[in-house]
Amino acid sequence: MNGNVIELRGLQKSYPPREPGGARTELFRALDLEVGRGEFVAVEGQSGTGKSSLLHILGGLDREYAGEVKILGRDLRGLDDPELSALRHAQIGFVFQSFNLLSSLSALENVLLPDFFGDGVPDAHARASEALATVGLSDKASARPTALSGGERQRVAIARALVAKPPLLLADEPTGNLDARTGQGIIDLFQRLHREGMTLLVVTHEKRMSRAASRVLVLERGELAADPTLEGSA
C-alpha cells in the first residue's frame, strides 16, 4: 500500500429520480482524489454539490456508486458487509451533518455507542470518558442531548467519532450552527488531531476551518479543484 488514506478513481454517483418520470441527480461522472496519511483536507462547495454524498461514500455508508474507492489501501467494493462494518468501526470516525445522537441516551452512552456494535471492548467506558474529555465535556457526561446546547451536541458527536481512535476522521460541517468561539474550539481540536498524525477530511463553509487545513478543495459541478482564493497554512 502507498501512503494514501483515501484514493478515489473515476467515482460516478447519481441518484434516481424522486418521482416517476423525473430526472436523475447526477453528482460525479469521474471524480478522482488522493489524500495522503496525515493530511488535513477541507472541502468547500455550494449547497447541493454533493459534499455529504461524497463523505457517505468515503465512509462506507453508501455503496450505490461506480468507480474505485480505497480507504487505507482497501477497495470498499471488495468488502462484504461485516468487513465494511469492521473497517468503519476501527478506522473511520464519522461526524454527521445532523449529529445523529440518540435522545434517550446520555452523552456518555452516545459516545459509547460504536462499542456496542463492536467487539465488546473491555475499557469502553474509560475510552468514552476520555473522548468526552478531549472535547471538553466531562462535566456533561450524564446529560441527555435534549439538555445540551447545539455546540455541546456537536462535540458529543465528535467524541463519538473519536472513541475508537481511528486513523481517519470524516466530518460533515462540524462547526455549522455554532457560535464563533465554540466553532474555534472544534477547529483547535482538529488541528491538534492533525498534529498527532490523524488524517482529516472536513466538509466546511467556515474559512477559519479551511485556513487551519493543509489543503483546501472546492467541489463544483462534479469536480474537486484546489481553492483559488486560499492556500492552507498548516
Ligand X SMILES: Nc1ncnc2c1ncn2[C@@H]1O[C@H](COP(=O)(O)OP(=O)(O)OP(=O)(O)O)[C@@H](O)[C@H]1O
Binding site for ligand X (CB under 6 A): 15, 18, 25, 27, 45, 47-53, 97
- Tell me the residue number closest to Mg ion, measured at CB: 52
- Indicate the residue among 13 and 140 with the shorter CB distance to ligand X: 13
Least CB distance from residue 229 to ligand X, whole Å?
A: 18
- Indicate the residue among 52 and 191 with the shorter CB distance to Mg ion: 52
Q: How many residues bind Mg ion (CB under 5 A)?
A: 3
Least CB distance from residue 10 to Mg ion, whole Å?
A: 23
- Indicate the residue among 17 and 73 with the shorter CB distance to ligand X: 17
- Indicate the residue among 56 and 127 with the shorter CB distance to Mg ion: 56
Q: Say whether residue 52 binds Mg ion (CB under 5 A).
A: yes
Binding to Mg ion in span 56-115, by CB under 5 A: 97
Least CB distance from residue 18 to ligand X, whole Å?
A: 6
Cell, residue 227: 481553492
